Structure formats: C-alpha cells, structure tokens
Structure 1
Amino acid sequence: MTGSLAGEVALVTGATGALGAAICRDLARAGADVAVHHLDEPDAATALARELAAAHGVRTTTVAADVTSWDQVAEAVAVVGRELGTITVLVNNAGFMEPVRIVDSELADWRRTLSVDLDGVFVVTRHVLHGMLQTHGRIVNVSSQLAVKGAVDYVAYATAKAGVLGFTKALAREVGPRVRVNAIAPGPIDTPMVRPYATPEWVHARTRDSVTGRLGTPEEVGPAVVFLAGPGAELLHGQTLHLNGGGVMA
C-alpha cells in the first residue's frame, strides 16, 4: 500500500473522529497529502495533521467547516487548494446519528440527520468536483450497512445513508471515468459515536447475524478507502464495499 497514492491530495471530512482519523492515517501511509477536516475540534485536527506529517513525511493542513454550509465548504476547499493543491481524493466521512423512534421524531430531528449525512455529501462533493474534472479524482462516500438492512430507531440515518448510495451510483455515471466514485458501507464499527449505545445487548443484536460476530474497528476500514482511491480500483465505478463482517451480503 505504501506509495500507491503518492502525489494525490486527499480531503477527509469528519477527520477527527475515530473512523476519519484511521482513514487519514492510511491515506498518509500510502503517500497522499492530507487535509484534515473538522467542525469544532481544532486541537485534535492539528495534532492529527502533525502526526501524519511526522510519521509519513506527507504535507498536511487542517480546515474547519460545517459540511452543510455552502460558503464554509467553499472556503475550506479553497484553503486546501492554496496549501496543498487541487483535491484529487475526497472521502465524505462526516456524519451524524442519533437513535429516535419515528413516532417520537420531529421534523427538525429528521432534517438534522439528513442535512449532515446526505446534504453534506452533496455540498462537499459539489465544491471539490470542479478541480477533479480538470485533472482526475476519486471520491469515496461513507454510507452504512443500515442503508441496506435498516434498523429500529435509525430511520432517518438509514434513509440518509441509502441516499448516499444512490448519489454514488448516479454521480459515478455522470462524472466518470475521469472521476471515480464509489462507497463503503461499514458497520457496526467500534467508535466513540457508537459506544454510548453499545450495551452488550445492543452489540449482540447487531452482530449475531454476521460472520465475524463482533464489531469492526476503524483500522479495518481505512485500507478499503485506500484501495478505492488507488490505481488497483480502476474498474470500480458506483460500487459499494460492505465492510461489516458479513452482516450484510449484497
């Protein structure tokens, strides 16, 4: 994997989370320069960027933006362009999930989830695409196994993540082959976002039908992103890699 992405400039949204940080580390290990995106964690973003530069000798920068804000994302992409160059690898990883029964949901709850998990993917992609279409690009959208199987208490999240898969397929046809667009559908992954809900009963319910019978780890996801962004995936367009231990086979 080392060196397979040398010369590429990667932007990872939601990079200060466990999954985003793991993806950044693997991209840097493969030789990509990395822009570490965050919403409101400048210290964590700076620490990660310094770690990547020191460990792998790549160029790094940090950018802050609400992925649902057109203007903030436009400025963040411009900053990356000035400091690292044209973004050629985009990982749409930023996300939000909160358990709520649909009968208890308000419109604001629904819109918050779809705004971050689906609108955010569009907004960031829209601002990055112009540069990619002038050179080349690889986009990896982070969906979820819940986009395929659904789950009690996560109707809005599953809906948004299913939308990400539809977006991936349609965009792949529209901008390929110059820009290669694919997705991953992880889950369940042991991250701080999941841990508040991860009682033994919760974990059992979500892993009992899988082949591995356990939660995945962030470190098991990054290599798939590097593969999709690299030269070995030239024939993959509009595809989804299901990184869920065999819980969903599609």
Structure 2
Amino acid sequence: MRAPSSTTILETAGLKAAYGHAQVLFGVDIALKAGEVVALMGRNGAGKSTTLKAIMGLVPPNGGNVTFEGRDVTGWQSYRIARLGLGYVPEERRIFTDLTVYENLEVGRKAAAGAGKEPWSPERLFAIFPNLAEMKGRRASAMSGGEQQMLTIARTLMGNPHAVLLDEPSEGLAPVIVEQMADAVLAMKAEGIAVLLSEQNLYFASAVSDRAYVIEKGTIRYEGTTQDLEANDEIREAYLSV
C-alpha cells in the first residue's frame, strides 16, 4: 500500500456555506494529501455533507476558498471540478435505475490521466465488489440500498479520479457490505487516490483513514490521527456520542 504523499491535493481555507439565510459552515479548514484517506466526522447536522457539497460546487460557498491540485476552484460548477479529477459519491447515490449495473459503470467511464496508469475497468471493480459481478446484467432499480451504494462508488472510480469525496459510505448498511466499502476505500488508497469521507462510524473510519477532523455546528473542533481520536474520550463524548 502506498504511503500518503507530502503534496496537498485538496484544501479548504475558511470555507463558509449557507442554505438561504441559514449559515451552516463557519470557516472550515481541511487539507487532504495525495494518496491519503481523511475522515470528516460528526453527528447528523454537524456540517459534514455540506462541506463535501461546498467543495464539489453543489452548494455555492459564501466565504473562504477551495483549492484542488493547485487551482482555486471556489464557486466553480460541479462538472468543471469533476473534469479536473475530483470524484463525488453522494449519500443519496443517484444511480440510473433504468440501466443495468454494467451500463451504469460505462456511463461513468473516463480515460485515465497520466502515462502508465492502469484505468479502472468493470473487471477490476468486480474484483473489489463481487456482488456487482453477480448482477452486472441486473437493472439498478432491482438492487438493495447497499448494492446501489457499491455501484455508486464503482461508477465514480470508472472516471479515474485523482481524489474522491465519499459521503456517509457505511450508513445503514449490513456489516458484510460495510466490509466491502472498507475494501474499496483501501483499494483507492493503494492506487494513490486521495479520499475525504464524511462518517459517523468511528470503527469504520479507524479501519480506513490516516487522519480525522471532527466538525460540530459547522466548525472544526478536532484535527489529528484517527488513532489519537479513538483514544480521546473527551472529544468523542463531546462531539461524536449520540
């Protein structure tokens, strides 16, 4: 498995975002290095998903900035950010239900950037998600929620991204599916893909991430290794316990 690079691929500085008059983010600072997995943790409503959406341009920031691979992409439209190599896996999945598993993957296909880099293919992804291999001809509408989540991640990887925003990958899924989600994140890391995932499950985050941020009421309250977070009872009780 590759070690994280020293190069910062994605960074937010003082990022703010709102829904109408309701301010949600109040100056979020996050850094993600190439090949690193970072967990953004917090309770429901803390601002995790909004942070990812603001980075991806789905919620226009109203303060601060977002830098991806050295370019200021603040306020860019989502498709422009995606074309630079930032993938996004939404919590609500948004797959094409009338298409088969294989067709959904083909919709996401994009040439790999960089000489000598092996592109993601359905066959490589089926090795990570064996459930998808067994149902590649099935319409996505006939899949369970966990299977649809696997398909969404696989479709995103077909775009050969340099970094991926992964929103609540383990929420509401059966343990066996969660294990496959963890395998997928570790496979991305092994390929040098940086991953920023929003998560409530500390066990899942500990299994895949190098570092963690804890967010509460739109403000970062903790930054450090996931291991240190596990050992920090005060932070966990204050910001992660239900």
Identify the TM-score tier after normalising by the shorter chain: 0.3 to 0.5
- TM-score, normalised to structure 2, is 0.35
Q: Which has the higher contact order (CA 8 A, sep 6+)?
A: 2
Hey, which of these two has a bigger chunk of strand by percent? Answer: 2
Hey, which of these two has a bigger chunk of helix by percent? Answer: 1
